[in-house]
């Protein structure tokens, strides 16, 4: 028997509280199941099942292991079912949430290519800079930028976004080029009012993360608006590189503080529970598309 089958038997042992019931459910002998459990505990280096003369009970380590295995095994079974059914008809509507700027500039073209490949899958893209509740809003998945705060979500990493400090040539002529991010505390900056950083901008030096408190006369709750305000000379800015690449190409802004750039931000596809076949296809497509792009 392979290890995947062993994991299924182990979960049944935990759920049924019986080696005999697990052996019966999986068509194995009691001796085979007992040897499998002993082998698994030896591999893990800890006791997974506490045995008494009257019952079996998972140890804390065994219960935690079974909790992690259940959704993984369900996903594997679902994926196998999809592959076995070559004639499977993939259709329906996928509701996907994403940040507004990322949705317009990058996700829309990626989704267009996806829908060309799977013409009977429709996509409804819900854009906005707040984190939507996937269950309440009946979303199949969301593309999130930044660290995840909800541990109940399942996630697939897609990319890591380089972040930069930048300013307009006019602003740099008036204020000079800062020697370090700490100097930004004394200079006008453009503040984005949505997101975890706001007026506390991260930066790093020699791998050590730090923050600087910044302020300015202009604030907005939209990334594109803030970036344009920086180009107009209203203050220094911090943003993901992809957001300001057009402004850089047009020479309306310049990068600065190269040696102190903020830590990159992760981009992830997130969802609740077991995915549909269409959602799994979309996550794989996004992983390939993001991986082929320069961020």
Better pLDDT: 272 or 166: 166
Whether pLDDT at 13 is above 50: yes
Put simply, whether the predicted model's pTM sits higher than 0.75 gets the answer no
Residue 214 has pLDDT above 90, yes or no: yes
Domains of the chain, CATH where assigned: 3-84 (1.10.10.10), 92-159+266-291 (3.40.190.10), 163-263 (3.40.190.10)
Backbone angles phi, psi at 69, to 5 degrees: -75, -35
Where helices occur in 54-200 by DSSP H, the ranges are: 60-84, 100-102, 108-117, 169-175
Segment holding 127, helix H or strand E: strand 121-127
Which among 59, 73, 2, 68 is positioned nearest to 36, based on CA atoms?
Answer: 2
Quickly state the pLDDT bin for 295 (edges 50, 70, 90).
low
Query: How far is the first Cα of the chain from the last one, in angstroms, to the nearest whole number?
Result: 44
Cα 178 to Cα 230: distance, rounded to the nearest angstrom: 15
Query: What pLDDT, in 10s, does the model give residues 160-185?
Result: 889 999 999 999 999 999 999 999 99
Distance CA 238, CA 195 (A): 12
């Amino acid at each position: 028997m392979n290890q995947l089958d062993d994991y299924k038997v182990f979960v049944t042992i935990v759920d049924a509280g019986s080696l005999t019931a697990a052996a019966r459910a999986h068509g194995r002998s009691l001796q085979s199941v007992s040897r499998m459990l002993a082998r698994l505990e030896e591999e893990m280096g800890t006791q997974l099942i506490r045995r008494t003369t009257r019952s079996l009970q998972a140890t804390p380590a065994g219960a935690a292991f079974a909790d992690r295995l259940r959704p993984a095994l369900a996903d594997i079974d679902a994926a196998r079912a999809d592959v076995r059914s070559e004639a499977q008809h993939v259709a329906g509507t996928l509701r996907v949430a994403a940040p507004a700027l990322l949705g317009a500039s990058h996700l829309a073209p990626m989704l267009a290519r996806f829908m060309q490949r799977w013409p009977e899958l429709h996509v409804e893209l819900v854009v906005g800079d707040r984190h939507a509740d996937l269950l309440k809003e009946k979303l199949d998945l969301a593309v999130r930028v930044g660290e995840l705060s909800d541990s109940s979500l399942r996630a697939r990493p897609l990319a890591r976004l380089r972040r930069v400090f930048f300013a307009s040539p006019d602003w740099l002529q008036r204020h000079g080029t800062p020697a370090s991010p700490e100097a930004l505390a004394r200079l006008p900056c453009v503040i984005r009012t949505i997101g975890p950083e706001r007026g506390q901008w991260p930066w790093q030096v020699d791998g050590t993360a730090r923050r600087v408190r910044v302020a300015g006369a202009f604030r907005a709750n939209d990334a594109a608006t803030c970036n344009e305000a920086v180009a107009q000379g209203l203050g220094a800015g911090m943003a993901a590189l992809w957001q300001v690449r057009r402004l850089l190409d047009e020479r309306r802004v310049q990068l600065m503080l190269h040696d102190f750039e903020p830590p990159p931000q992760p981009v992830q596809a997130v969802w609740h529970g077991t995915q549909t076949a269409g959602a799994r296809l979309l996550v794989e497509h996004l992983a390939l598309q993001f991986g082929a792009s320069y961020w």
